[in-house]
């Protein structure tokens, strides 16, 4: 972090929820022209309500995603590690899904509080697999959760 200082400026970025500190002076070098951003990244939380081991209705709910942003839901029959390849949105992000059999289930839109849900039907074949959420704005991920 920055050194202790005086005569600095601080502003709040409403679109990102960050505090931004600029400049000031300190005892080490005097005048400073540096910029520091303070924020906290909360990983999105994901919950699944389903009727495994039978097929049937399922609801996926999430919170702590970007307000009004898009999320992607991925599935894999097994947990593992998969890195989104270059040239793709969120390239370099690690997912907790095994790349063998991994697939995109679909997209959802978060509400103004960063929460949302999607309803659908699952086949019995997905039971025991894993679902994970990716915030398409921040590239933050939820934990991969087991479909039970």
Q: Which residue has the higher pLDDT, 117 or 127?
A: 117
- Going by C-alpha positions, the residue among 44, 45, 103 that lies closest to residue 75 is 103
Q: How far apart are CA 2 and CA 22, in angstroms?
A: 10
Q: How far apart are CA 87 and CA 49, in angstroms?
A: 34
Q: Which residue has the higher pLDDT, 94 or 55?
A: 94
User: Is the pLDDT confidence value at 41 over 70?
Assistant: no
pLDDT tier for residue 49 given thresholds of 50, 70 and 90: confident
In this prediction, residue 2 carries a pLDDT of 85
Rounded to the nearest integer, the mean pLDDT of the chain is: 88
Dihedral, 62, 67, 69, 73 alpha carbons, nearest 10: -10
Q: Compute CA 146 distance to the chain's CA centroid, rounded to the nearest angstrom.
A: 18
Strand partners for 22: 9, 35
């Amino acid at each position: 972090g920055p050194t202790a200082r005086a005569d600095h400026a601080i502003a709040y970025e409403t679109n990102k929820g960050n505090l931004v500190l600029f400049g000031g002076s300190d005892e080490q070098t005097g005048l400073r022209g540096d910029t520091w951003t303070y924020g906290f990244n909360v990983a999105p939380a994901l919950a699944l309500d389903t009727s495994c081991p039978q097929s049937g209705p399922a609801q996926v709910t999430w919170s702590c995603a970007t307000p009004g942003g898009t999320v992607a839901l991925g599935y894999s029959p097994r947990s593992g590690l998969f890195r989104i390849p270059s040239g793709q949105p969120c390239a370099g992000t690690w997912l907790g899904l095994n790349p063998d059999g991994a697939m995109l289930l679909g997209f959802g839109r978060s509400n103004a509080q960063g929460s949302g849900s999607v309803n659908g039907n699952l086949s019995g074949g997905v039971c025991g697999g894993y679902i994970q959420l990716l915030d398409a704005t921040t590239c933050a991920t939820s934990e991969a959760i087991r479909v039970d």
